[in-house]
Structure 1
């Protein structure tokens, strides 16, 4: 683990052989378990660098649907055409369309 001990930022580093499919699966599972423990202990899934593509799918595990909807509204307010980092700031909301411009301004 790499860490900023003074401010509580941990950067777990799970080493594995990428050529070994079993190790890759085990490393991914370990990473997901680490995130779950962080959330359960009142921590966050990210540090100073933002969520990143790797952790987008973990956001709904940390944030409730209302928080996710609020983040989508903010994103759509400033980027209604979704041209700024499309697909990189929020996970896809499967089954729910993004709010329309009219819904955002209401």
Structure 2
């Protein structure tokens, strides 16, 4: 199974299915071995932490990983979900939004 992913850290994505469908956010981490991404403000879970000398403890709310198939790139122009393609521009391989043809990588 290939772990090649078209989504990178810092990309703007939209959730296309599941509990958080329609939410938008920035990719904080990419986990290619698990085919998952962590998106800001999406798939929030609560963790109960024990107090330690460094931290007070209590209930912490944080983002959990979501499968990469449940998110799609956000088109830079239309702010809607789009697929990703590749083109060669100036000798570099660049990701482009299929919906509008605009380059995702700057």
Q: Please give the TM-score of this superposition, normalised by the length of structure 1.
A: 0.22
Higher RCO, Cα 8 Å, sep 6+: 2
- Give the structure with the larger strand fraction: 2
Q: Please give the TM-score of this superposition, normalised by the length of structure 2.
A: 0.22
- Give the structure with the larger helix fraction: 1
